[in-house]
Amino acid sequence: MDPSRKFDRVADVAIDDGRIVEIAPRIAQKGRREVDARGLAVLPGFIDMHVHLREPGREDAETIETGTAAAARGGFTAVACMPNTQPVNDSEAVTTYILKRAREVSKIAVYPIGAITRGSRGETLAEIGEMVRAGIVAISDDGHPVSDGQVMRRALEYSRLFNLPVIDHCEDEALAAGGVVHEGYWSTKLGLRGISPAAEEVQVARDAILARQTGARIHIAHLSTRKSLETVTRARREGGVNLTCEVTPHHLLLTDERVAAYDTHAKMNPPLRGRDDVDALVEGIASGAVDVIATDHAPHTLGDKMLEFDRAPFGVVGLETAVSLVCDRFVRPGVIGLGRLAELFSLNPARILNLERGTLTPGAWADITVLDLGRQTEVRAATFASRGRNTPFEGWSLCGGPAMTVVRGKVVWSA
Amino acid sequence: MASLSQKDLLSIEQLSVDDIGLVLDTAEALREVSARAVKKVPALRGKTVINLFFEPSTRTRSSFELAEKRLSADILNFSASSSSVTKGETLLDTARNLEAMAPDIIVIRHASAGAPHLLGTECRSSVVNAGDGMHEHPTQALLDALTVRSMKGRLEGLKLAIIGDISHSRVARSDTLLFHKMGAEVWVCGPPTLIPADFHLLGARVTGFMEEAIEGADVVMMLRLQNERQNEAFIPSTREYFNLYGLSRERMRGARKNAIVMHPGPMNRGVEIESEVADADYSVILDQVANGVATRMAVLYLLSGNSGLKPGRESR
């Protein structure tokens, strides 16, 4: 299955020297190693364009080695990692360090995302050109939204020089008002400070306007409300903008009711929303309004998470559950097909990040995700390759998920 | 011995109508202890109660302490200023350390909503929520109910108006849940900036107009307005606030004859309540304080056999 060229049939795939050399109904020539993928789905390699690998700085929570092992186990052949490390990836030196560590310990591809502003403080531009030279694929101040409209505008204008996507964590911090959960019935009932959906929606609207004015490429990270999605859809329908968006599996599957027992494994930013928002996001992955599913994989130590709800950090892990969750809840029931799945997890992230990936074409790198839609698994954090155990899906029984992850022709993980 | 069916008292939400009736009946019976020359019964003799106060509190802490003493419990007081919290210990570690001392009941007051739940899940001891952030203050609601029932003879069918800063009030939440559960008509009233989202779903009618809330009310409950709310742009000034939401003799005329005025304290005279109203004969503010001791005695007594039960889960 290759949605980049509408290819969908039973076929053999021949790989040589890390690249796909032939795709045909029957390839007679014997291979050095053959994989019997009968009954399985062979898709272009999945890319998670929104992860936090925590290295450098918080290696107790995750490392490039454990995070990428988790990614391989979750069916991902590549990840793009956010710059909110310690120190922040706002310089060529940190970008170079991340890429060096990745070459040493990672079996999958790692694409660093650089900071938009120095220290992600939202004030002055980071040395974006230097980081591009070192290998970043996008810029983002994820976790620390760029509040100042003028700084954002400058960043967008500057990003055009490098055709670099700007990934925005949309949150008006004044409107978010120190909230910890979605503002609504549950925040009221639980006595937790609410985050108004307007905090996200206002910023998405600003970005849509700036995207048009500057002609830059904006990708909205972890979009979580119906109104945000409507704003993106309307701007795209009007034309003349380069605006894309992603949603996370947890925003597609859980509502704010999940917070009822003050479980900090259900605390993330943006927060879990209400049913209507969840329904809108699910419609969005089916209709094409949503471009990408990304995990926002955010590992934290249990010590950090086992605090009072308002003191615990935001974030959940997702690399080892995302594909299985989406297969079980959306592919098997027919909400989306395999072609759409490959767009959401592979083709679109590759296009947004300008990566020569996301396709199964002779000549392309042999990055392949093999799915088994009949494979039964149960989410058990204790078995994760990730150091993070903070999943809200513990104990979920799932049918369907990754069976094998192939990067440049090498099997880096198989079930 | 009668007892509550759960290990912990974390919220009004988890209590049934029968549970609430049991607490109120028990409190009524125990009220007599405080009128004796020797104000002590042996109900909790040999039991250890830890008062774990992470937030400054005078009246609630004293009320619990007195209740424990009148039940003959052994008491350990532990407050944030003297605790290891300032040394960076987590709540969970504090809880485990206390648990190792084998208390029967832990009374906790904490600035974070849900902190008592965390404790209740981790500890074998019974946990009593003495106020958690903006979430709940169940013993306050129970003592309010006892006060109203003593004055009015019933809860069902009464109109209760809760007025003030609803957003930041755990008392408003607990009282709304309790009085609604017991069949009263609950109104909450305050500036729209201080009414949280979807509050009506907790069982209250919501209005921004004080006259509407007070009209025909049997009980008017005023909440404290913290001075900071002015700086946080929730209200323009305390002066304007008093004009719109302060309880004056004038406004009380809209309430039902024999209506009573309550306040969980501490009061801001001249900000949310006129001095003359606070001191009027229809004010039952001091009865609330007296009932607080009896109510907490009842809660402690009814939970005292329950430590070691499975951790209480809140019903949804």
- Percent of chain A, pLDDT > 70? 100
Question: Quick one: pLDDT at residue B229?
Answer: 81
Residue A347's contacts (CB-CB under 8 Å, 6 or more residues apart) are: A3, A4, A44, A358, A359
Is B206 within the bounds of a domain? yes
Is B185 within the bounds of a domain? yes
B window 100-129, beta carbon within 8 A of A: 110, 112-115, 117-118
My answer on whether B264 and B197 are in the same domain is yes
Q: How does the average pLDDT of chain A come out, rounded?
A: 97
**Structural domain of residue B87, as residue ranges?**
17-135+292-303
My answer on whether B130 and B260 are in the same domain is no
Question: Quick one: pLDDT at residue B316?
Answer: 33
- pLDDT tens digits, A33-89: 999 999 999 999 999 999 999 999 999 999 999 999 999 999 999 999 999 999 999
**B311 touching A (Cβ < 8 Å):** no
B89: nearest CA partner in chain A? A307
- pLDDT tens digits, B52-70: 999 888 899 999 999 999 9
Question: Quick one: pLDDT at residue B313?
Answer: 44
Instruction: Examine residue B266 and say whether the peptide bond preceding it is cis (omega within 30 degrees of 0).
Output: yes
- pLDDT tens digits, A263-303: 999 999 999 999 999 999 999 999 999 999 999 999 999 99
Residue B315 in this model has a pLDDT that exceeds 80: no
My answer on whether B142 and B285 are in the same domain is yes
CB contact under 8 A, B202 and A188: yes
- Say how far apart CA A355 and CA A222 lie, in whole Å: 20
Residue A210's contacts (CB-CB under 8 Å, 6 or more residues apart) are: A149, A152, A153, A156, A216, A218
- Say how far apart CA A89 and CA A95 lie, in whole Å: 6
Could you tell me how many CB contacts below 8 A there are between chain A and chain B?
68
Residue A163 in this model has a pLDDT that exceeds 50: yes
B119: nearest CA partner in chain A? A308
My answer on whether B105 and B225 are in the same domain is no
My answer on whether B156 and B277 are in the same domain is yes
Using a CB-CB cut-off of 8 Å, the residues of chain A touching B117 are 261-262
- Say how far apart CA A358 and CA A365 lie, in whole Å: 9
Give B84's pLDDT tier (boundaries 50, 70, 90).
Answer: low
**Residue A197, phi then psi, degrees to nearest 5:** -60, -25
Q: Distance, in angstroms, between A141 CA and closest chain B CA? A: 28
The CATH number that applies at residue B225 is 3.40.50.1370
Q: Distance, in angstroms, between B112 CA and closest chain A CA? A: 6
Residue B83 in this model has a pLDDT that exceeds 80: no
My answer on whether B160 and B111 are in the same domain is no
My answer on whether B222 and B154 are in the same domain is yes
Q: Coil, strand, or helix at residue A369?
A: strand
Q: Coil, strand, or helix at residue A28?
A: coil
Is B50 within the bounds of a domain? yes
| pTM of this structure | 0.93
Is B12 within the bounds of a domain? no
My answer on whether B184 and B266 are in the same domain is yes
My answer on whether B103 and B86 are in the same domain is yes
Is B310 within the bounds of a domain? no
Kindly indicate whether the ipTM for this predicted assembly is greater than 0.95, answering yes or no: no
Give A143's pLDDT tier (boundaries 50, 70, 90).
Answer: confident
Is B59 an annotated catalytic residue? yes
CB contact under 8 A, A190 and B132: no
CB contact under 8 A, A190 and B314: no
Structural domains counted in chain B: 2
Query: One of A296, A328, A367, A372 is an active-site residue; which one?
Result: A296
Using a CB-CB cut-off of 8 Å, the residues of chain A touching B197 are 183-185, 187-188, 194
Question: Quick one: pLDDT at residue B227?
Answer: 80
- pLDDT tens digits, B131-166: 999 999 999 999 999 999 999 999 999 999 999 999
Residue B163's contacts (CB-CB under 8 Å, 6 or more residues apart) are: B188, B189, B190, B210, B213, B214, B220, B221, B222, B223, B245, B247, B272
- Percent of chain B, pLDDT > 90? 80
Is B314 within the bounds of a domain? no
Is B7 within the bounds of a domain? no
- pLDDT tens digits, A382-414: 999 999 999 999 999 999 999 999 999 999 999
- pLDDT tens digits, B251-290: 999 999 999 999 998 899 999 999 999 999 999 999 999 9
Q: How does the average pLDDT of chain B come out, rounded?
A: 92
**Residue B236, phi then psi, degrees to nearest 5:** -70, -45
Is B137 an annotated catalytic residue? yes
Any idea which architecture A43-358+377-397 has in CATH? Alpha-Beta Barrel (3.20)
Is B67 within the bounds of a domain? yes
Q: Tell me the mean pLDDT in the region A241-245.
A: 98
My answer on whether B52 and B92 are in the same domain is yes
Question: Quick one: pLDDT at residue B82?
Answer: 57
